[in-house]
Structure 1
Amino acid sequence: MAGHNHGIIHSDPAIIKWANMTTNRHKYFRWTRRTAWISFAYVILVPAMLGTAGYMADGKWDMRGKRRGDMISEF
């Protein structure tokens, strides 16, 4: 069965160091201009752009019940 024989394969020290870093990342995080901009971009800017694009395209195309040769644009 799987799950036995722990420790047979040697652990890579770089992978262990990386795993510890990602586990303890919140302890060493510091707000800088770069991290603030990245956070702003992913929390506010990207959703606002996607929402605006969705709002502008809402109702422009109707794919339901169309046949070959019919126009999909409603405007």
Structure 2
Amino acid sequence: MAGGPNSHLKILHDDAAMQKIADIGPNRYKYFRWTPRTAWYSICYAIVVPSVVGYLAYATEGKYYMRGKRRGDVIKEF
């Protein structure tokens, strides 16, 4: 047969840019560098976002009751 037994396996050529992106994904820790931008994002995701979510959860604790409601009933309990 023309091309040998494994000629059908490599019909499409690999795109170099896609190969580079695929290689960066699992090796991202090797290319990470602390900059002011990455430090700001880290602070926001590690401190600010959980603080805001925690405050909203604490502020609305016990105010809403979602179970056992029927159509037309209000969900507020205060």
TM over 0.5: yes
Deviations 1:10-62 (A, max 9, x none): 11111001112223321221111110110111122111111111111111011
2:26 equivalent among 17, 23, 28: 23
The CA RMSD measured in Å over matched residues stands at: 2.0
Give distance in 2, aligned partners of 1:23 and 1:68: 49
Corresponding residue pairs, total: 72
Give distance in 2, aligned partners of 1:28 and 1:65: 52
The alignment's TM-score, normalised by the length of structure 1, stands at 0.76
Structure 2 residue aligned with 1:74: 77
After TM superposition, which residue ranges in structure 1, 4 or more long, deviate above 4 angstroms? none
Which runs of 5 or more residues in structure 1 are unaligned? none
Which amino acid letter does the alignment assign opposite residue 71 of structure 1?
V
The alignment's TM-score, normalised by the length of structure 2, stands at 0.73
SS at 2:25 equivalent: helix
Give distance in 2, aligned partners of 1:66 and 1:27: 52
SS at 1:6 equivalent: helix
Which amino acid letter does the alignment assign opposite residue 29 of structure 1?
F
Which amino acid letter does the alignment assign opposite residue 37 of structure 2?
R
1:51 equivalent among 50, 54, 58: 54
Decide whether aligned partners of structure 1 residues 67 and 26 sit closer, same or farther in structure 2, where only a CA change above 3 A counts.
closer
Task: Map residues 24-39 of structure 1 onto 2, 5 A cutoff.
Answer: 24-39=27-42
